[in-house]
Structure 1
């Protein structure tokens, strides 16, 4: 089951990365975090359960530097979500030092012949108790490496918990942050950190027993621990599928300084009834209205290359803000909204009588569709009939 969950998580993480990193770059940190965690799960599977020298030789020790990046990636994601930013400072590079040092330490092992690694893998399969004696890092012993990785990750988890505690009142009281979205994102961060804490603590228990006694003894009777870890692992992974809104983060509406001052003054002067009205109003509604007005007046969707980035560039706001407005407030997907606008424009052209002088393909192109097939498919999806049938029905009505 561990192998299946790990492979499934890698697939989900890659999909998340491809479709979301341009909109919210914090998805890059989250995707890399899950991919590395899954690689570690696969390495554990091939070490403990699957007795195959080849796969064990592939996964054993090669990816250990990546495990030291789990903490920094978690921190960058949690901090970026809470502050609605994906920027890293120069000081953030310090977080990569442990992973870099560990990588340098295993460089000699990386360049060893694969046959030598197969012998090591075979020795582990024959007797797992040899692992503590395999010093394959020129800087650290195996015992130190196994102990340091979970302890370091746990320290990052504690710091992320501190950030959640620190930012909770700031997020809940900020009138420029949508309340429902902040609740969803905060709940997700709590689920993520809680699940990860369970996994790390369980791993530390197994590691302590393995190193204080010996691996064969430490891994005995760990069925319950592994099941609890697997459950926590599943919760993290499937939360991405069940609650896609978590990927929008916690967007904070950015206003001009004068407008923001006016909003804050109004909040201070408001009575209880006014406060309730403000709490019920999403701070991104005005941006959503501006987007709708921009689409109606400027008609950027008539450009075949029109994308969500064009809206982001026009309004000069973060992409995840635009995605939040479209998906949550406007209640649709960007691709569907774009298709609906283009079909609506095509209908206006057909009603104006242009079908008498232009081909259907030309009308589709004037409406933003690249090809005739895309135009037909979108038109039928929105109206239930093809453009040709629409023209026929129109002529029937006129006659």
Structure 2
């Protein structure tokens, strides 16, 4: 038999985590995470999406503390319809450079009319079907980029896992009429919390997640930007900047900065690196830095690993260890010993 007290305790903890981490994710996206498509509108959509999710979690917390059924509140029922639309807007703005929100975009809020027509038990399945539709849309985009999946396998894994989990939540929502509504609130609130955990973990492990996904989408959906570019000359100049000028030693080196040195646009450089080296910009930069670190570890046995990590452009020793182990299969210390 399921221990309801244990479920309540775990849910309480997860709700607290969700409410605390939501503003942290917003600050991280707004000021720290790299994304070529980030602008005022995408930041606003991120803010509204996280606020809506936080609102749902506040209703769930009120249910645990005061035993007030969230579905009895019109605001909660409205949030069930607003969250999927905001998820779509944020995803679209993040992944597609040319997407603009206009008057026609309001059609995504039309399903909220169901609130005026159907009762509470029907509202949840309808809202979750709409949410699942957006998840299928995102998964379709991911699948359509199969030509680039090997380059972005980790990023695709996180996005696919998140989408599949959302669909499981939708299926559970359909069972609301046959189970105690308390279990629905517990499952849904913990589901949102798990989504926060997945996103937080993904961004901690792979801080360039959004940028690399954007690059993959760009490669899959836009025409080549390299038609008039002298590709061999640009590759030669890129090699010179890396091997002779050692521009990678700048820990803040960005795609736009390197593109400026090559007299290319960010889109052109991104496509150049992806098509010629079959990696994203951040992966290419990590490979260059690790290759230089390998040389220094052997040629400068008295230099500390920390000094080598700083000399090769890594912002921290932990980032250096992660990248080095990912590319070589060994820690820097073990590589030096071998």
TM-score (norm 1): 0.47
**Contact (CA 8 Å) 1:7, 1:38: kept in 2 or not?**
yes
Whether 1:43 and 2:43 are equivalent positions in the alignment is no
**Contact (CA 8 Å) 1:288, 1:325: kept in 2 or not?**
no
The residue that corresponds to 2:317 in the other structure is none
Moved more, 188-197 or 9-18: 9-18
The residue that corresponds to 1:179 in the other structure is 150
> Relative to structure 1, is the Cα distance of residues 45 and 380 closer, same or farther in structure 2, using a 3 angstrom cutoff?
closer
Q: Work out the CA distance in 1 between the residues paired with 2:244 and 2:139.
A: 42
Higher gyration radius (CA): 1
2:201 to 232, 238, 244: 238
The residue that corresponds to 1:396 in the other structure is none
Q: Work out the CA distance in 1 between the residues paired with 2:268 and 2:18.
A: 30
Q: Give, in angstroms, the shift of residue 328 of structure 1.
A: 1.0
> Relative to structure 1, is the Cα distance of residues 201 and 316 closer, same or farther in structure 2, using a 3 angstrom cutoff?
same
Query: Secondary structure of the residue that 1:157 maps to in structure 2?
Result: helix
1:315 to 264, 268, 289: 264
Query: Secondary structure of the residue that 1:180 maps to in structure 2?
Result: coil
The residue that corresponds to 1:93 in the other structure is 105
Q: Give, in angstroms, the shift of residue 87 of structure 1.
A: 1.6
Q: Work out the CA distance in 1 between the residues paired with 2:52 and 2:225.
A: 38
Query: Secondary structure of the residue that 2:66 maps to in structure 1?
Result: coil
Q: Work out the CA distance in 2 between the residues paired with 1:23 and 1:3.
A: 32
**Residues 134-213 of structure 1: pairs in structure 2 closer than 5 A:** 140=115, 144=119, 147-148=122-123, 151-162=126-137, 164-165=139-140, 168=143, 170-173=144-147, 177=148, 179-181=150-152, 183-206=153-176, 208=177
User: Which gives a bigger RCO, structure 1 or 2 (Cα 8 Å, sep 6+)?
Assistant: 2
Q: Work out the CA distance in 2 between the residues paired with 1:172 and 1:9.
A: 32
**Contact (CA 8 Å) 2:259, 2:266: kept in 1 or not?**
yes
2:87 to 71, 74, 86: 74
**Contact (CA 8 Å) 1:22, 1:319: kept in 2 or not?**
no
> Relative to structure 1, is the Cα distance of residues 95 and 193 closer, same or farther in structure 2, using a 3 angstrom cutoff?
farther
Q: Give, in angstroms, the shift of residue 381 of structure 1.
A: 5.2
**Contact (CA 8 Å) 1:30, 1:77: kept in 2 or not?**
yes
Name stretches of at least 5 consecutive residues in structure 1 with no aligned partner.
103-138, 211-216, 264-284, 341-377, 384-399
**Contact (CA 8 Å) 1:17, 1:31: kept in 2 or not?**
no
**Residues 1-399 of structure 1: pairs in structure 2 closer than 5 A:** 1-10=13-22, 11-20=24-33, 23-25=36-38, 28=43, 32-46=48-62, 48-51=63-66, 65-78=78-91, 84-85=96-97, 87-88=99-100, 90=102, 93-98=105-110, 140=115, 144=119, 147-148=122-123, 151-162=126-137, 164-165=139-140, 168=143, 170-173=144-147, 177=148, 179-181=150-152, 183-206=153-176, 208=177, 218-219=181-182, 230-231=193-194, 234-247=197-210, 248-251=212-215, 252-253=218-219, 254-257=224-227, 293=240, 309-311=256-258, 314-318=263-267, 321=270, 325-331=280-286, 382=311
**Contact (CA 8 Å) 1:84, 1:250: kept in 2 or not?**
yes
Query: Secondary structure of the residue that 1:196 maps to in structure 2?
Result: helix
TM-score (norm 2): 0.54
The residue that corresponds to 2:330 in the other structure is none
Q: Work out the CA distance in 2 between the residues paired with 1:196 and 1:289.
A: 46
> Relative to structure 1, is the Cα distance of residues 14 and 187 closer, same or farther in structure 2, using a 3 angstrom cutoff?
same
Q: Give, in angstroms, the shift of residue 17 of structure 1.
A: 3.0
**Contact (CA 8 Å) 1:2, 1:230: kept in 2 or not?**
yes
Supply the RMSD in Å over aligned alpha carbons: 5.3
Q: Give, in angstroms, the shift of residue 229 of structure 1.
A: 6.3
Q: Give, in angstroms, the shift of residue 44 of structure 1.
A: 1.5
**Contact (CA 8 Å) 2:203, 2:209: kept in 1 or not?**
yes
**Contact (CA 8 Å) 1:33, 1:70: kept in 2 or not?**
yes
Name stretches of at least 5 consecutive residues in structure 2 with no aligned partner.
1-12, 294-306, 313-338
Q: Work out the CA distance in 2 between the residues paired with 1:50 and 1:255.
A: 56
Q: Work out the CA distance in 1 between the residues paired with 2:208 and 2:171.
A: 29
